[in-house]
Amino acid sequence: MKSLRIFFLGGLMSYRALFSFMSPAVFIPTLIVTPIFQILLFAYIGRAANARSDEFYVVGNAMQYAAVPCLFAMTQTIAGERFQQTLGYILVSPAGRLPLFLGRSLPVILNGFFVAGFSLIVGGLLLGVTFPVSSLLPLALVVLVASLSCTGLGLINAGLGLRIRETSVLSNILVGILLIFCGANVAISSLPHWMAQISSWLPLTHAIEAARTVADGSSLTSVQGLIGRELGVGVLYAVAGLAIIRFFETQSRRHASLGIA
Amino acid sequence: MAAGLRLLGFAWLMHVKMMSRSAFDGLLAILWPLFFATVAFFMFRTGHGHSALGPIGLAAAVMGIWTATSVPASSALQRERWFGTLELLVVAPSNFALILLPITIAASTIGLYCVAGTLLWSRFLFGIHLTVVHPLFFALGLFASVVTIGSLGFLMAVSFVRSRRAWSIGAVLEYPIWLVCGFLVPVSLLPAWVRPISWALGPTWGMRAIREAAYGGAPLVPLLVCLALAGVYLALGVVMLRFFLDAARKHATLSLA
């Protein structure tokens, strides 16, 4: 019962307290308006380059933008404790680490889902891209899975944030890497072989492919393999992230470096 | 006059040094446009083949000047607030515009690192050779772009003086300026109502001047328009700054505390 309270209530409280983008003055420009401009930018570049259809860029960029809230929020809600000088209190508490840190990821996943879903709808409306009604529910599921796997990467980022000072720089670099590698704007088949190999181990790659397939009218069962792989990648990153957090916690106790920012 | 120029020069140098050592203002400002340049290279290579990449490399390089400026410039005053130096700077005997302008020009100067970085990136990773037909005009085009983007940043810094979250407004303007100023997308491809906005933006003309200089066109007119727009942004910024500072003194709201 206590673990459930920590997971749900503690997670939500930490998220609201530490994720600074929740203020409307930041949330609206960065998580509502910017993804729409990213979609427009790449859709127009695509037109100028005579590369792909608008739908390709709407789906790719809306999904890719889930990475921004997931990476930044996950890092801020965990590594942010260090900057608020409350990390010590959290780590000496008897609370289980799993509900303590995983609980914070739940609002992050939901926010990522909202941002990507909103971008998909508004970006589609602006560019006249329509999706079959039958594809809406499968699309929602794929977006949710994408947010989950990005949050897994966010946990790794958060773990590194317990040691690295420039967390926003690191988050931006990860977002940039995903932009190139995950097939948001360039089909994986058009990337060099070594890049395509890396992309299959990154979050979003399989989800974007699945989203494009269901947006074209295919059924959910036809993409279950892709969804499964995306989930697998997300779980893998989440486990690695929790291990990194655990490692840096142990290291910081051993070297008395907990609060060093 | 000499004292004003001296202040501009020293403050610019000091801020360039500080920003160069900042991971966010320095390193990220160089890396961030490289991600977009790489994606654009792949997109154009898919659509038009390798021959189309030359102008794209040049455009992606100049985009970096705006990236380096948009967030640091819009949040320049807020940063001074955090440091606790805003009040001291405002009450200093020097004109506050001469203190603020070097910050935004320094930010756009950092963009030159990005220009160099992106040109090297496109040369060594994508084999794009840039041959400049008018080197002098090319250099002047870069100088004018830095000045006009720095001046636009100055106007933004002044405009967002009342916002505690000014950085987010700067961040949201990054993509629209890339799009509207015709860096990677020809302005003719955008809706007709966007074109007048594009013409009123200095980076549009800076990019045009650089492109004309590189490929042997007529860079003089865009260069002059680019510098003239920088003058307009500066004049507007100075007038607005005086108004905002007077209001802040009257209502004791400078610190927004």
Please state the domain count of chain A: 1
Owning domain of residue A52: 2-255
What mean pLDDT do residues B54-68 have? Answer: 90
Mean pLDDT of chain A: 91
DSSP string covering chain A, please? -HHHHIIIIIHHHHHHHH-GGGSHHHHIIIIIIHHHHHHHHHHHHHHHHT-S-HHHHHHHHHHHTTHHHHHHHHHHHHHHHHHTT-HHHHHHS---HHHHHHHHHHHHHHHHHHHHHHHHHHHHHHHT----GGGHHHHHHHHHHHHHHHHHHHHHHHHHHTT-S-HHHHHHHHHHHHHHHSSSSS-GGGS-HHHHHHHTTSTTHHHHHHHHHHHTT--GGGGHHHHHHHHHHHHHHHHHHHHHHHHHHHHHHHHT-TT--
What mean pLDDT do residues B39-64 have? Answer: 84
What mean pLDDT do residues A137-159 have? Answer: 95
In this model, does residue A139 exceed pLDDT 90?
yes
Dist. CA B164–CA B75, nearest whole Å = 8
Rounded percentage of chain B residues whose pLDDT exceeds 70 = 98
Q: What is the pLDDT of residues B10-38, one digit of tens each?
A: 999 999 999 998 888 888 888 888 999 99
Burial status of residue B236 (CB atoms within 10 A of its CB: 0-12, 13-18, 19 or more):
middle
In this model, does residue B121 exceed pLDDT 70?
yes
Q: What is the pLDDT of residues A121-136, one digit of tens each?
A: 999 999 999 999 999 9
- CA-nearest residue to B186 within chain A is A48
Residues sharing a CB contact under 8 Å with residue B116, sequence separation 6 or more, in sequence order: B61
What mean pLDDT do residues B245-250 have? Answer: 88
Q: Which residues of B touch A26 (CB under 8 A)?
A: 165, 168
The C-alpha of A35 sits at a distance from chain B's nearest C-alpha, in angstroms, of 9
**B176: contact with A, CB 8 A cutoff:** yes
Answer whether residue A27 is part of any domain. yes
Of residues B24, B40, B172, nearest to A34 (C-beta): B172
pTM comes to 0.93
Cα-flanking dihedrals φ and ψ of residue A94, to 5°?
-80, 5
The C-alpha of A55 sits at a distance from chain B's nearest C-alpha, in angstroms, of 15
The C-alpha of B125 sits at a distance from chain A's nearest C-alpha, in angstroms, of 12
Answer whether residue A260 is part of any domain. no
Strands (E), chain B: none
| Residue-level pLDDT at A54 | 94
Q: Report the Cα B244 to chain-centroid distance in Å.
A: 23
pLDDT-derived band at B223, boundaries 50, 70, 90: very high
What mean pLDDT do residues B104-111 have? Answer: 94
pLDDT-derived band at B147, boundaries 50, 70, 90: very high
The residue among A31, A36, A45 with the most chain B CBs within 10 A of its CB, best to mutate, is: A45
Q: Determine which of A10-19, A173-182, B182-191, B237-246 has the lowest per-residue pLDDT on average.
A: A10-19
The C-alpha of A162 sits at a distance from chain B's nearest C-alpha, in angstroms, of 17
- CA-nearest residue to A171 within chain B is B28
What mean pLDDT do residues B174-193 have? Answer: 94
The C-alpha of B92 sits at a distance from chain A's nearest C-alpha, in angstroms, of 31
B81 vs A42: which has the higher pLDDT: A42
| Residue-level pLDDT at A128 | 95
Angle at A101 between CA A113 and CA A109, to 5 degrees: 0
pLDDT-derived band at A259, boundaries 50, 70, 90: low
Which candidate, B110, B99, B141, B113, places its Cα nearest to that of B227? B141
Q: Which residues of B touch A29 (CB under 8 A)?
A: 168-169, 171-172
What mean pLDDT do residues A15-43 have? Answer: 91
What mean pLDDT do residues B99-103 have? Answer: 94
Q: What is the pLDDT of residues A62-102, one digit of tens each?
A: 999 999 999 999 888 888 888 788 888 888 888 888 888 88
A42 and B42 in contact by Cβ < 8 A?
A: no
pLDDT-derived band at A6, boundaries 50, 70, 90: confident
pLDDT-derived band at B84, boundaries 50, 70, 90: confident
Beta carbons of B125 and B40 less than 8 angstroms apart? no
Mean pLDDT of chain B: 91
Chain A residue set in contact with B, beta carbons under 8 Å = 23, 25-26, 29-30, 33-34, 37-38, 40-42, 44-52, 166, 168-169, 172-173, 176-177, 179-180, 185-187, 190-191
CB under 8 A, 24+ apart: contacts of A238-241: A238/A102, A238/A105, A238/A151, A238/A152, A238/A155, A240/A152, A240/A155, A240/A156, A241/A152, A241/A153, A241/A154, A241/A155, A241/A156, A241/A157, A241/A158, A241/A159
| Coil/strand/helix, residue B52 | helix
Answer whether residue A261 is part of any domain. no
Domain ranges of chain B: 2-251
Beta carbons of A152 and A236 less than 8 angstroms apart? yes
**B24: contact with A, CB 8 A cutoff:** yes
Q: What is the pLDDT of residues B164-176, one digit of tens each?
A: 788 888 899 999 9
| Residue-level pLDDT at B166 | 85
pLDDT-derived band at B50, boundaries 50, 70, 90: low
What mean pLDDT do residues B57-85 have? Answer: 89
| Residue-level pLDDT at A260 | 61
In this model, does residue A188 exceed pLDDT 60?
yes
Of residues A29, A49, A179, nearest to B47 (C-beta): A49
